[in-house]
Amino acid sequence: MEFNCSSPTTIPVVSTFASPFDTSAAVNGSDSTSTRKPISLWPGMYHSPVTNALWEAKSQIFERLLDPPKDAPPQSELLTKTPSQSRTSILYNLSSDYILREQYRDPWNEVRIGKLLEDLDALAGTISVKHCSDDDSTTRPLLLVTASVDKIVLKKPISVDIDLKIVGSVIWVGRSSIEIQLEVIQSTEENSDVSESVAVTANFIFVARDSKTGKAAPVNRLSPETEREKFLFEEAEARSKLRKRKRVDRREFEHGEINRLDALLAEGRIFCDMPALADRDSILLKDTHLENALICQPQQRNIHGRIFGGFLMHRAFELAFSTAYAFAGLVPCFLEVDHVDFLRPVDVGDFLRLKSCVLYTELENPDQPLINVEVVAHVTRPEIRTSEVSNTFYFTFSVRPEAKATKNGFKIRNVVPATEEEARRILERMDAEMLTRKSQ
């Protein structure tokens, strides 16, 4: 992706809290009309600084989305837009805004990945709105929802003491779907080159729905201009075709599935039937479970009134991190989150249950053992006795080298299934990972 600091719309991100130690009117260059409230007025406020900045962006697009015209007609004519028209960046002044820095700091002096995932989704949503807008206040806006997220890989640690920038734009559109690519950039004196400064690349797929009928709605066309934009468009087109083929391709891995299931279940049966003889270097999958539950609050909604995907990814990441931590006995190091499909919307007031487990481990490389954690989000309705899966997340962690060095005899255990359902989940996950590696 090309980055031109003068071309993208840059949204500055500042701390959402006023300093309790500084009672002056100006904070970080703001004047006396600043809308930021003292900390005492913000207890429990959910939105991250980025989400807050995007929500408060003074644009006609957002004002119309928040208060759409009554009985307005749909957009009658599709426009053709360029990637540069949607390109937007957000800048974290982490080096100078110490309150913002504290909001993003994790215990290891790096940026909290969960909050960053939340911010990526929020920015992708803003970019999708910019592309789909027809700049006509008399038509009704589209309902845009996160459909899926491609694999997000952390290429290098992200320091919380150095300024950070996220730049994104629309790189591909289908009939009613949009792909947005985002890059998280953190430059230092050692890696002033743009390619070396990229810490994360993420691709979000949004789908458009008519806000009145709920049916799929066409979106504005995209016209790539530069060679780089044309290359990204072609790559995204290939990914779209691959997604359509994946269901068929997976059948290739079903041959011999019974033998694979039996092999996976062999050690689990020993745990269940002869626990005294079980392998001490293994652990049952069910013994790695963690779970939490929450009621989705109004503060967690997007501009369409539903719980936004960034919140779900944030909460899933925190649970996955805790699961890997409890399993390994050492501080985990995040590596990637695999492709995520958003199967059903989550509404304000929904009872959300998040269940996690270590699905399997990869121990071929002793210097970097891999811990694959599954988090399943269920929308539960006790009054009608139903529970539906809204998302399934797959996170991969390793162990921080500095943490591993402090524990003598450190060893990651194998995870074994005790039921056929658990074994099938492991096989499906391994097959999906194999397909992803083949496509790369």
pLDDT in tens, 17-41: 544 444 444 434 444 344 444 433 3
**CA 114, CA 317: separation in Å to the nearest integer?**
6
What number of other Cβ atoms are within 10 A of residue 25's Cβ? 10
One domain, residues 141 and 232: yes
One domain, residues 230 and 362: no
Do the domain assignments include residue 145? yes
pTM: 0.81
Q: What is the pLDDT of residue 191?
A: 61
Do the domain assignments include residue 238? yes
Domain at 390, CATH number: 3.10.129.10
Contact between 63 and 57 under an 8 Å Cβ cutoff? The reply is no
DSSP state of 270: H
Do the domain assignments include residue 35? no
Task: Mark the ranges of the chain whose per-residue pLDDT is less than 70.
Answer: 1-8, 14-70, 136-137, 190-193, 245-258, 303, 402-409, 435-440
Q: What is the pLDDT of residue 211?
A: 78
| Count of structural domains within the chain | 2
Domain boundary among 212, 247, 282: 247
Domain boundary among 216, 247, 278: 247
Q: What is the pLDDT of residue 401?
A: 73
Range of the domain at 100: 10-17+41-247
One domain, residues 379 and 279: yes
Buried b (16+ CB within 10 A) or exposed e, 380-417: eeeeeeeeeebbbbbbbbbbbeebbeeeeeeebbebbb
One domain, residues 111 and 204: yes
Do the domain assignments include residue 363? yes
Q: What is the pLDDT of residue 139?
A: 76
Do the domain assignments include residue 30? no
One domain, residues 270 and 224: no
One domain, residues 295 and 399: yes
Q: What is the pLDDT of residue 376?
A: 95
Q: What is the pLDDT of residue 196?
A: 79
Do the domain assignments include residue 342? yes
Q: Is 122 helix (H, G, I), strand (E, B) or coil?
A: helix
